[in-house]
Structure 1
Amino acid sequence: MTDNPNPAALAPYDPAWPLMAVEQLALVRGALAGLPGADTAQLDHIGSTSVPGLAAKPFLDLQVRILPLPEEAELIDRLEPIGYQRAPGARPDSPGVHRDIPRGGEDVPPEVWQKRLFVCADVPAILHVRRLDSPWGRYTVAFRDWLRANPDQRDRYARVKTALAEENRGKADYDDYTLAKTAFFDEVQDAFAAFSASAD
């Protein structure tokens, strides 16, 4: 009996990933030009493909942080011509499709967790569109920079991800894999938050 495809399967780090991310973010920035907040928007390569030496699902995680958060229809009109489609999520409760999971005990208005998620049909890329004041937007950048600066923690995270990918082998989507990584984020959040604060 053959295993089902494993969407959570990891690939070795590919040095082409950062170059691909730069190209895609330039396309996204051009597509969003003229929107309110576009001039001050932050565009980031995040996730495991942004950390040299870290195994990852071979999909670029890209992020736009913009305020105000554009309406969904406006984003669809601008992003579809460059290959990005609105992501429906694998399940009705898929994490991070319409809003991020609140974390860190932050006392913030509920609307800051809103987001829009897109996937690219032309290259393996996922685009997270968040508010400029999104706590998750800050977490993703702080976590990336912390892993880049701490190879021992990068390798520890790789071991966690490898184990979770194996546990989720044969599942039709990787939502359980994504949710399970939250335990690691919770465990190390103080460390990467302190790292980020010291770098400011």
Structure 2
Amino acid sequence: MSSIRRPRRPDVTELDLIGGPEALTVTLHDYDDRWPGMYLAHRKRILDALSEAATGIEHIGSTSVPGLAAKPIIDLVVTVDDVTAEEDYLPALLAAGYRLRVREPGHRLVRTPERDVHVHIYDAAAPAVDEYLLLRDRLRDDPDDRALYERTKRDLLTRRWDDMNAYANAKTDVIRAIKDRARSARGR
């Protein structure tokens, strides 16, 4: 008999963007060989803070793809047993110097005060985690999709963005197509 893990409490039902929308100037930087080291430093910082609470930590986003131009923001995905049990991880992350930015169904985001590191927190079984890794791995392995993604980001820079979410949403169709090709290549 399979057991389904239930959250300790009901999750939030809508987006809570702490601090409200923020104006954004999107700039792409050529790939920086320091990004993996920055990831590793924050991985250690998070592991030190969470000890047993983190079930996984991965480097995601464009800074995790060698050779890909990116916004100079290190993205990490941290998995926990229960994202609704914020007492298991959030106080420790805040004490480690991160600030809560997003609380939405199934997802929390903390970031550095400098806004150069974003830590996405999900349940270990959240489909979003697999989606992040699918895109990252495809961009690492396929030079054509990596070039397409970079061209798309550069084209989007010709527009003004009032919020990071609007910029992210504008990439959705290209990201979906890349992930579809990744699934096809994996035979699923």
Q: How does 1:43-192 map to 2 (within 5 A)?
A: 43-69=57-83, 71-88=85-102, 97-99=103-105, 114-121=106-113, 124-167=116-159, 169=160, 171-192=161-182
1:17 corresponds to 2:31:
no
CA distance in 2, matches of 1:21, 1:186: 25
Structure 2: which 5+ runs fail to align? 1-22
Is the 8 Å Cα contact of residues 24 and 162 (structure 2) preserved in structure 1? yes
Is the 8 Å Cα contact of residues 119 and 127 (structure 1) preserved in structure 2? yes
Shift of 1:44: 0.3
CA distance in 2, matches of 1:147, 1:26: 25
Shift of 1:70: 5.1
CA distance in 1, matches of 2:115, 2:101: 15
CA distance in 2, matches of 1:33, 1:19: 20
Is the 8 Å Cα contact of residues 109 and 121 (structure 2) preserved in structure 1? yes
The TM-score, its normalising length taken from structure 2, stands at 0.80
Is the 8 Å Cα contact of residues 149 and 175 (structure 2) preserved in structure 1? no
The TM-score, its normalising length taken from structure 1, stands at 0.75
Question: Is the partner of 1:87 in helix, strand or coil?
Answer: strand
Percent of residue pairs bearing the same amino acid type: 31
CA distance in 1, matches of 2:116, 2:169: 21
Alpha-carbon spacing, 1:32–1:86, altered in 2? closer, same or farther (3 Å): same
Deviations 1:40-87 (A, max 9, x none): x11000000000111111100011022222523443310112211100
CA distance in 1, matches of 2:84, 2:38: 25
More helix by share: 1
CA distance in 2, matches of 1:120, 1:145: 25
Alpha-carbon spacing, 1:18–1:196, altered in 2? closer, same or farther (3 Å): farther
More strand by share: 2
Count of residue correspondences: 166
Letter of the 1:179 partner, please give it. Answer: N
Superposed CA RMSD in Å reads 2.0
Is the 8 Å Cα contact of residues 46 and 144 (structure 1) preserved in structure 2? yes
Question: Is the partner of 1:13 in helix, strand or coil?
Answer: coil
CA distance in 2, matches of 1:195, 1:84: 37
Shift of 1:164: 1.2
Letter of the 2:104 partner, please give it. Answer: H
Shift of 1:172: 3.2
Is the 8 Å Cα contact of residues 17 and 60 (structure 1) preserved in structure 2? yes
